[in-house]
Amino acid sequence: MRTSAGAGASAPAVTGSGLRGSANGPAPAERRQDGFTLIELLVVMVIIGSLLSLAVLSTGNANTSRELRDEAQRLSGLIAVLSDEAVLDNREYGLLVRSESYRVLAYDEAKAIWAAVPGQNEHRVPVWARLELELEGEPLKLSAPVKENDDEPGLSQDEEKKEKEKSGPRQPEPQLLILSSGELSPFRLEIAERESKGTVYELVSDGFQMPKAELAKERR
């Protein structure tokens, strides 16, 4: 029995991209790049650094705002306590406010002077904060510290000496009065960050209502 002429011959090789690819490795278009390039790593590092900077900045701003709020609440609480004590003790109190600090004073009727209250030291706000006081809607220029040796204008040396012996060292007078009648000097007091767009808290009283520490809507 005769077989066909091609029966004993080997089958022709199958040609195609799939078989050639498996023999010679993946085609260039199909090859994957494992890992990152140097440029990609640098971009990732820049992004991470920016995010960390924003996180630190946000945390710092939150801490500053919180500390400013605490300062404002401390001051409003102090005014309320002094108002109660003024009524109970039938005594006049006052706050001497400067741009960087405030101090409680009490009126000595016998000597007709304002004097510091024992146990109430001058309180300084943080260096990045400031105080600004307005009475009856009129802005005030906050007083600078008064030197005890300042000369009285218009007095001779002898007259000045007698005046000092009579009244003692000059005492600064408070701008904000807290009276035994329960009244306050009508005022608006800002405690704010010194930077132009910083947080601002304000305390406001019409002379009868106790002030509350409130976040100002906008800086004036």
Q: Tell the CATH topology of 62-145+168-215.
A: minor pseudopilin epsh fold (3.55.40)
49 pLDDT higher than 60: yes
The pLDDT assigned to 61 comes to 63
Measure Cα distances from 116 to 103, 157, 187 in Å.
Answer: 8, 28, 22
216 pLDDT higher than 80: yes
220 pLDDT higher than 90: no
Place of tokens 């800086």: 219
Between 27 and 172, residue with greater pLDDT: 172
Between 218 and 127, residue with greater pLDDT: 127
Question: Considering the chain, what percentage of its residues have pLDDT values greater than 70?
Answer: 61
- Which two structure tokens, joined as six digits, stand for 23? 């023999």
Determine whether 79 is exposed, middle or buried from the number of CB atoms within 10 Å of its CB (0-12, 13-18, 19+). buried
The pLDDT assigned to 96 comes to 95
162 pLDDT higher than 90: no
Q: Each residue of 69-83: pLDDT tens digit?
A: 999 999 999 999 999
User: Is the pTM for the entire model greater than 0.75?
Assistant: no
Question: To 10 degrees, the CA torsion angle through 44, 49, 52, 54?
Answer: -110
